[in-house]
Amino acid sequence: MCGIVGYVGREEAVPVLLQGLYKLEYRGYDSAGVAVLRPEGLKVVKTKGRIKNLEDKVQQVGGMEATCGIGHTRWATHGEPSDVNAHPHISRNGRIAIVHNGIIENYLELREMLTKEGYEMQSQTDTEVVAHLFEHHFKGDMMQALMDTVKDLRGSYALGILSADDPGEIYCTKRDNPLIIGVGEGENLIASDIPAIIQKTKHYIVLEDNQIARITPDQVEVFNAFGQKLEPEVQTVNWDISSAEKGGYEHFMIKEIMEQPKALRDTISPRIEGDLPRLEECGLTDELFHDLRNIHIVACGSALHAGLVGREVIERFARVPVSASVASEFRYRNPIIGKEDLCIVISQSGETADTLAAMREAKKRGARTIAIVNVVSSSAAREADSVLYTWAGPEIAVATTKAYSAQLAALYLVAIKAGLARGTLTEEEGKEYCRKINELPELITEALRTRPQIQYLASLYSNRQSVFFIGRGVDYAAAQEASLKLKEISYIHSEAYAAGELKHGTISLIEDGTLVVAMANDKALYEKTLSNVKSVKARGASVIMVTNEEVEPDPEICDFVVKIPDCDPALSASLSIIPMQLFSYYMGVYRGCDIDKPRNLAKSVTVE
Ligand code: F6R
């Protein structure tokens, strides 16, 4: 996720662009840049770091006075955060500047084609390819060049384009990424989100996929993909600016919960080709998975919980022993790990001290390492032998939701890749699982529809002192994440138990009114879990069942059923966790907790 802003009017463009970029910093903040059109041509200033760094650099450089420009705040995907990888990117002849949000999936192909034509890449980004491609197609007509350029692109994008040949104009287009046009008086803007335009206007047009817009100070023209002019609807912002960065949501946590279909799509779609996992670009070759003795997954907190799901799925698909360890324990227990083993570390931030230390220990002992990481060029990403990025975008809420879900998706792909490489999955089985993974974003959207029911349940149970989560197999792994989420957001004591283990002692804590959430999404284990559920119900527990089975509430079994979509049991954590994230969120809201910054917690734990 990145942020785009563009301005064309009668005022100084740069202050408007910077103000807009500050409002979009929540979308990414590892580098930023602006380009303006001066009488002598395009002038670009860009830098690694936050918008403040850019503002300082613009002042140092000077000479940026202009009334037309584009700006960008980046969250790195292709290429580390650096001055050169920051946007805008410039075409070879220096006459086109481009800002981009999204991922160009076929950029390697395009880069090869353009390199053969003599274009030299300055950066490691997919975006620079688009700038050169535009120049390649430009024969004097911006619209035609843009239509020809997007025909060659695969993937998702929102693009803002400034051309030295068409002063006083900005062009933009989009596919699967948001872009709006702010409609002002004597000035118009483009942006990824409303907060970036609201300083100037409350009127805006939402650009639809494949539409192209041309904006000048006095005119906004929108065209369809064939260049036919359209009459877009102009809407008016009717909400409070202070909630704007959260896209109208009350908290970042709920916004990020709702963003999960996109986080999954972005993580999965560039990695599946012809219904098979394509992970070689991330350094995950077949060879890596041959002749393995063990896989050790090492992580902390929710990332470890994703690892617990990963352990179930990798063992199922690749038939290799997998352990999932708490990173802070792993390094001090003289772990049995060596060059016959693979160590997978999972981390949203890539900076968690315990996880980094565990990875270094594994490396020191000769193991090969894979990092599943969300923050590009973070320490874990730099130090691991191979990196599989989760493209969840920046996660602002301290409690992770979308990064956890993206970690699950990445682990499923690793499991399929390992199964295929080791011959424990046939190609047909691998393809079938990839097709199922591709369906997950849609199924998550469906699971998010439990939101009103979950809000109601939270209103009933938010006064409870203690909550138990139970499940078997993948459901047990998901239960552990559900329990952590509830603890950290609502401060309610909670525990997760393997459903069959409760009877070995902990069942003595179940009394009248204790809330038990039972997760049962594997048909093969359903009857077994059901008997554990009956035993807590018989002791007076209130029970919520989270299941894909067609069951109704029953006085002997459960008080409420939260129905989630049916899917392969190996992948069910991706769906069962959704109502549980919502449950924690609403429990916290009803208890008046500080949702996005729970007490005592930090987003990145860089101390041991
Ligand atoms: C819980 C949470 C933490 C992190 C843990 C690891 O919601 O966010 O438990 O999962 O601190 O952090 P990363 O993934 O950055 O290594």
pLDDT at res. 394: 84
Q: Is the CB of 302 under 6 A from ligand 1?
A: yes
Nearest-atom number in ligand 1 for the CA of 301 is 9
Residue ID of nearest Cα to ligand 1 atom 5? 301
Q: Please choose from 253, 305, 349, 355 the residue to mutate so as to test ligand 1's pocket, defined by most ligand atoms within 8 A of CB.
A: 349
pLDDT (average), residues 53-65:
96
- Residue 319 gets the label, from left (phi > 0), alpha (psi -120 to 50) or beta, of left
Please state, in angstroms and as integers, the Cα–Cα distance from residue 532 to each residue in 312, 474, 518, 541, following that order.
21, 16, 9, 12
Distance between Cα 350 and ligand 1 center (Å): 10
pTM greater than 0.85 (yes/no): no
Gap between the Cα atoms of 400 and 299, Å rounded? 14
Gap between the Cα atoms of 387 and 391, Å rounded? 12
Distance between Cα 403 and ligand 1 center (Å): 9
Distance between Cα 307 and ligand 1 center (Å): 12
pLDDT at res. 454: 98
Q: Is the CB of 405 under 6 A from ligand 1?
A: no
Pairing of strands 542-547, 560-563: parallel
On the question of pLDDT at 195 being above 90, the answer is: no
pLDDT at res. 99: 97
On the question of pLDDT at 320 being above 70, the answer is: yes
pLDDT tens digits, 138-191? 999 999 999 999 999 998 899 999 999 999 999 999 998 889 999 999 999 999
Please state, in angstroms and as integers, the Cα–Cα distance from residue 192 to each residue in 5, 125, 159, 197, 247, following that order.
7, 20, 10, 9, 11
pLDDT (average), residues 351-360:
94
Q: Do 334 and 413 sit in the same domain of this protein?
A: yes
Q: Is the CB of 349 under 6 A from ligand 1?
A: yes
In a domain, 605, yes or no: no
In a domain, 439, yes or no: no
Enumerate helices (H) and strands (E) in the chain, giving the number of each: 18, 27
Q: Please choose from 348, 351, 596 the residue to mutate so as to test ligand 1's pocket, defined by most ligand atoms within 8 A of CB.
A: 348
Give the domain range for residue 123: 3-237
Distance between Cα 101 and ligand 1 center (Å): 26
On the question of pLDDT at 238 being above 80, the answer is: no
pLDDT at res. 603: 73
Gap between the Cα atoms of 192 and 196, Å rounded? 8
Q: Do 75 and 104 sit in the same domain of this protein?
A: yes
Q: Do 93 and 61 sit in the same domain of this protein?
A: yes
Q: Do 507 and 551 sit in the same domain of this protein?
A: yes
Q: Which residues of 555-581 are buried (b: 16+ CB within 10 A; e: fewer)?
A: eebbbbbbbbbebbbbbbbbbbbbbbb
In a domain, 599, yes or no: no
Distance between Cα 586 and ligand 1 center (Å): 20
Nearest-atom number in ligand 1 for the CA of 399 is 7
Pairing of strands 155-163, 203-206: unpaired
Q: Please choose from 252, 256, 257, 300 the residue to mutate so as to test ligand 1's pocket, defined by most ligand atoms within 8 A of CB.
A: 300
Q: Is the CB of 352 under 6 A from ligand 1?
A: yes
Q: CA nearest 11: which of 200, 229, 148, 167?
A: 200
**Contact criterion met (CB below 8 Å) for 413 and 277:** yes
Residue 283 is classified by DSSP as T
Distance between Cα 264 and ligand 1 center (Å): 18
Pairing of strands 188-191, 229-230: unpaired
Nearest-atom number in ligand 1 for the CA of 401 is 7
- 10 Å Cβ neighbour count for 84? 15
Confidence label for 64 from pLDDT (cuts 50, 70 and 90): very high
In a domain, 602, yes or no: no
**Residue carrying the six token digits 């860089």:** 606
Distance between Cα 484 and ligand 1 center (Å): 10
Please state, in angstroms and as integers, the Cα–Cα distance from residue 334 to each residue in 87, 239, 359, following that order.
46, 57, 13
Q: Which residues of 336-346 are buried (b: 16+ CB within 10 A; e: fewer)?
A: ebeeebbbbbb
Gap between the Cα atoms of 521 and 24, Å rounded? 39
Residue 536 is encoded by which pair of tokens? Answer: 């807590």
Q: Do 226 and 268 sit in the same domain of this protein?
A: no
**Residue carrying the six token digits 């990064």:** 403
Gap between the Cα atoms of 333 and 331, Å rounded? 6
**Contact criterion met (CB below 8 Å) for 114 and 92:** no
Residue 465 is encoded by which pair of tokens? Answer: 């002192």
Q: Do 184 and 274 sit in the same domain of this protein?
A: no
Q: Which residues are catalytic?
A: 2, 603
Beta-bridge mates of residue 4: 72
Q: What is the DSSP string of 210-254?
A: T-EEEEETTEEEEE-TTS-EE-PPPEE--S-GGGGGGTT-SSHHH
Q: Do 161 and 256 sit in the same domain of this protein?
A: no
**Contact criterion met (CB below 8 Å) for 222 and 210:** no
Q: Where are the alpha helices (DSSP H) in 269-352?
A: 286-289, 301-318, 327-330
Gap between the Cα atoms of 298 and 372, Å rounded? 11
Domain at 564, CATH number = 3.40.50.10490
pLDDT at res. 25: 86
* Dihedral over alpha carbons 473, 474, 479, 485 (to 10 degrees): 150
Q: Is the CB of 483 under 6 A from ligand 1?
A: no
Q: Do 119 and 21 sit in the same domain of this protein?
A: yes
Residue ID of nearest Cα to ligand 1 atom 7? 399
Please state, in angstroms and as integers, the Cα–Cα distance from residue 271 to each residue in 105, 177, 327, 391, following that order.
9, 19, 27, 11
Q: Is the CB of 156 under 6 A from ligand 1?
A: no
pLDDT at res. 277: 97
Q: Do 230 and 302 sit in the same domain of this protein?
A: no
Q: Please choose from 352, 355, 373 the residue to mutate so as to test ligand 1's pocket, defined by most ligand atoms within 8 A of CB.
A: 352
Nearest-atom number in ligand 1 for the CA of 604 is 15
Residue ID of nearest Cα to ligand 1 atom 11? 301
**Residue carrying the six token digits 């890539």:** 350
Gap between the Cα atoms of 486 and 253, Å rounded? 13
pLDDT tens digits, 541-593? 999 999 999 999 999 899 999 999 999 999 999 999 999 999 999 999 999 99
In a domain, 538, yes or no: yes
Domain at 159, CATH number = 3.60.20.10
pLDDT (average), residues 226-231:
95
Distance between Cα 206 and ligand 1 center (Å): 35
Q: Is the CB of 407 under 6 A from ligand 1?
A: no
On the question of pLDDT at 244 being above 90, the answer is: no
In a domain, 300, yes or no: yes
On the question of pLDDT at 602 being above 80, the answer is: no
pLDDT at res. 262: 93
Domain's final residue, options 237, 256, 281: 237
- What values do phi and psi take at 138, rounded to 5? -75, 120
Gap between the Cα atoms of 171 and 145, Å rounded? 11
Q: Is the CB of 604 under 6 A from ligand 1?
A: yes
Q: Please choose from 252, 375, 379, 400 the residue to mutate so as to test ligand 1's pocket, defined by most ligand atoms within 8 A of CB.
A: 400
Q: Do 26 and 175 sit in the same domain of this protein?
A: yes
Q: Do 456 and 419 sit in the same domain of this protein?
A: no
Q: Is the CB of 400 under 6 A from ligand 1?
A: yes
Q: Do 216 and 75 sit in the same domain of this protein?
A: yes
On the question of pLDDT at 242 being above 70, the answer is: no
**Contact criterion met (CB below 8 Å) for 519 and 543:** no
**Contact criterion met (CB below 8 Å) for 102 and 157:** yes
Average pLDDT, the chain: 94
Confidence label for 514 from pLDDT (cuts 50, 70 and 90): very high
Distance between Cα 606 and ligand 1 center (Å): 11
Gap between the Cα atoms of 384 and 382, Å rounded? 6
In a domain, 369, yes or no: yes
In a domain, 212, yes or no: yes
In the chain, the number of structural domains is: 3
On the question of pLDDT at 345 being above 70, the answer is: yes
On the question of pLDDT at 608 being above 80, the answer is: no
pLDDT at res. 92: 96
pLDDT (average), residues 381-403:
93
Nearest-atom number in ligand 1 for the CA of 485 is 7
pLDDT at res. 477: 98
Q: In what order do the strands lie in the sheet with 322-326?
A: 322-326, 295-299, 342-347, 368-373, 386-389
Of the two residues 268 and 29, the one the predictor is more confident about is: 268
pLDDT tens digits, 266-316? 999 999 999 999 999 888 999 999 989 999 999 999 999 999 999 999 999
- What values do phi and psi take at 385, rounded to 5? -70, -40
